[in-house]
Amino acid sequence: MDNAFYIASGYLFHVAVNHTDNNNLKTGDSIHISPMKVLQLPITTGSFASEPELNLYPNPANDVLQINASMHSIRTLRILDLHGRLMKEIHKPGSSIPIQDLPQGNYVCLFDLGSRVITKIVTKE
């Protein structure tokens, strides 16, 4: 996993760094900044009547998620926690997704179809 965070567009981040001289010298202090990649999380509200549905079940789930996507060709499934951290990424997922390694909680599932992304929320018990 990389250090990527997935967020909704429209956010502006400011970083402020304050480092005090804890050895009473004016030289020798250093500031280390790690790179962070911020990616856009596609979010939609509602659904389109003409769009074939992608079903994810059971919800809540314990060990395995089932995907019913007969009309869709899923390129990538990304499962994010609610802080936007990438927990799992599966290229060309099948109809069963093992999730027993995820802690209990709510997750955002992003289904990349190439031309668009479908977002679903799932609860892991």
CA dihedral 73, 78, 82, 87 (to 10 degrees): 150
For every residue of 87-120, DSSP letters joined together read: EEEEES--SEEE-TTSPSEEEEEEEE-SS-EEEE
pLDDT category at 113 given cuts 50, 70, 90 is: confident
Q: Are 97 and 90 in contact (CB under 8 A)?
A: yes
Q: What is the pLDDT of residue 101?
A: 95
- Domain ranges in the chain? 4-124
Q: 37-76 pLDDT, tens per residue?
A: 555 555 554 454 445 578 899 999 999 999 988 666 889 9
Q: What is the pLDDT of residue 66?
A: 94
The pTM of the full predicted model, rounded to 2 decimals, is 0.61
Burial class (CB in 10 A: 0-12, 13-18, 19+), 65: buried
Tokens 């799932």 correspond to: 122
CATH topology assigned to domain 4-124: Immunoglobulin-like (2.60.40)
Q: Which residues pair with 4 in a beta bridge?
A: 37
Q: 15-35 pLDDT, tens per residue?
A: 565 556 666 665 555 666 666
